[in-house]
Amino acid sequence: MLLAGAAALASGLLPGPAFQVLAARTVPVLAFVVSMSLVTELVDDAGLFRVVTERLAALGRSRVTLLWLLVIGLAAVSTVFLSLDTTAVLVTPVVVLLAVHARIPPLPFALTTIWLANTASLLLPVSNLTNLLAQDRLRLSPAAFAGLVWAPALVGILVPLGILWLAFRRDLRGRYGPQPVHPVRDRVLLSSAAGVMVLLLPALVSGVPVQIPALAAAAILLALFLWRRRSALRWSMIPWRPLMLTSGLFMVVEALHANGLTRLVSGIAGPGDGLPALLQLAGLGVGASNAVNNLPAYLALEPAGGSPARLAALLIGVNLGPLVTPWASLATLLWHERLRTLNVEIRWGGFALAGLAAVVLTVPLAVVALWLVAGLH
């Protein structure tokens, strides 16, 4: 994909001025993605996610339902403040291992993490790369962005959880036994990582460009690891493949827009902020995400988001909708990769049917919530 983008630029399909505008918009976003990837990898290596999970197991008081509710809180907070990919990559293993050690069926916990990784990723700009792009287009502060989407974001959390409870209520009852406690390798590193996170989370929603606190946190953690655990640092902590994929997608889709895609999208997305128009745009986002992937779906349809409400409806489609096909979001693929290493089997037919049911219920309700709260009725 990166080679395709470079070829588009070299051949003139992506004009030089358009590329310069694209770079000015996306380089800060990509800097944030790289920085947060380093932060989450280093915080995980320091043992913070494991300690949090062990505390959750203790707080669950041996009750499976309470433990599930605590896992919901962990997955939601991780997604909202650290991004959906963090939940897929780092929260999934610790939550699934928690279920396995407690002799609880791991599937409800695994599905909870990936559904919330996608559907809880609407509230803040940092929750999803699509949100960062939309925030840049709308020129909104994090608080104003949350003010626009809080109602559909709430729907995106509650409706899938209701479906999961109905489907797995028998597995989510009963009690579990004591959990193993792992010794802390380096308390100084763990405490320092926790302190960095405590400072980082409010900084990400303070209104300061998000790449600045993310870069600062990554630099501090790198210095700490150079001091305390240099052997943990490795080049694979940088997400090279997603970075190349994303950069290439930006360039290819921008080249398509420069050669007529904008006119095509405007023709099929429909005009206006009425409820039917918002449902139509969100539906296009759902369909395009599950057919290709949610990032190119957003990039392709973004010109149709001519107002804050329309852009929010598109985000509902591309954030809450990628629950049907495994390639609909990168988070789902990363989640499945983690499950394979844990020997947890996922049947994609059942995954798709359950996801389709969740999308059919969640996306229209979220659009209606947006329409009502935005005062468009």
State both tokens at 8: 């588009």
Separation in Å, CA 61 to CA 66, 72, 164, 179, 305: 8, 16, 22, 11, 47
CB within 8 A of 344, min separation 6: which ones? 96, 106, 107, 110
Longest dimension (CA), the chain: 63
Beta bridge partners of 63: 175
At 93 the pLDDT is 86
CA neighbor of 90 nearest in space, from 53, 121, 130: 53
What is the 3-state composition of the chain as percent helix, strand, coil, each rounded to the nearest 5?
80, 0, 20
- Give the model's pLDDT for residue 262: 72
3-class SS at 375? coil
**Domain assignments of the chain as residue spans, ordered by start:** 2-373
- Per-residue pLDDT 10s for the chain (377 aa) are 899 999 999 999 989 898 998 898 888 888 888 898 899 889 888 988 888 888 888 888 889 999 999 999 999 999 999 888 889 888 888 888 888 888 888 999 999 999 999 999 999 999 998 999 999 889 899 999 999 999 999 999 999 999 999 999 998 988 887 777 778 888 999 999 999 999 998 998 888 888 899 999 999 999 999 998 888 898 888 888 888 888 888 888 889 888 887 777 777 777 788 899 999 999 999 998 998 888 888 988 888 888 999 999 999 999 999 999 998 988 898 898 888 888 888 899 999 999 999 999 999 999 999 999 987 76
**Sign, CA torsion 217/218/223/225:** positive
- 293 HSE (CA, 13 A, CB side): 17
User: Residue 377: its pLDDT value, please?
Assistant: 61
pLDDT at 286: 94
Cα separation, 116 vs 84, whole angstroms: 8
CB 310 within 8 Å of CB 277: yes
